[in-house]
Amino acid sequence: AQKITQTQPGMFVQEKEAVTLDCTYDTSDPSYGLFWYKQPSSGEMIFLIYQGSYDQQNATEGRYSLNFQKARKSANLVISASQLGDSAMYFCAMRVIQGAQKLVFGQGTRLTINP
């Protein structure tokens, strides 16, 4: 079975600072994808970044980067130069390649950016 653990229920960061949101995962499948989604207060789920289990390099998308440490089974999201609009709930998720191909989500981290 797959499991995602996000150990930070809430985080408070000053605007323009970098922030790291932690995510660890557990799976016995060798092939999987790791995703981060953002959920603002309006409720929609916004895809941020993806990392494949066989990718050699860490994924980056604008201000978002994923610090992928396969041996430690961690996939932390790094947001550089945080903005007020980054305040939201952030979910780490894993999707296995075979079978149900479902997304397994962590419980989320609520990020608040202070001016």
Partner 1 sequence: EAQVTQNPRYLITVTGKKLTVTCSQNMNHEYMSWYRQDPGLGLRQIYYSMNVEVTDKGDVPEGYKVSRKEKRNFPLILESPSPNQTSLYFCASSLAGGHYEQYFGPGTRLTVT
CB of 98 to partner 1, least distance (A): 7
Considering only residues 38 to 97 of the shown chain, the ones binding partner 1 according to CB under 8 A are 43-45, 47, 50, 52, 91, 93, 95-97
> What span, in angstroms and rounded, lies between the C-alpha atoms of 20 and 83?
14
CB of 34 to partner 1, least distance (A): 10
What is the DSSP pairing of strand 10-14 with strand 109-114?
parallel
Closer residue to partner 1 in complex, CB, 36/87 = 36
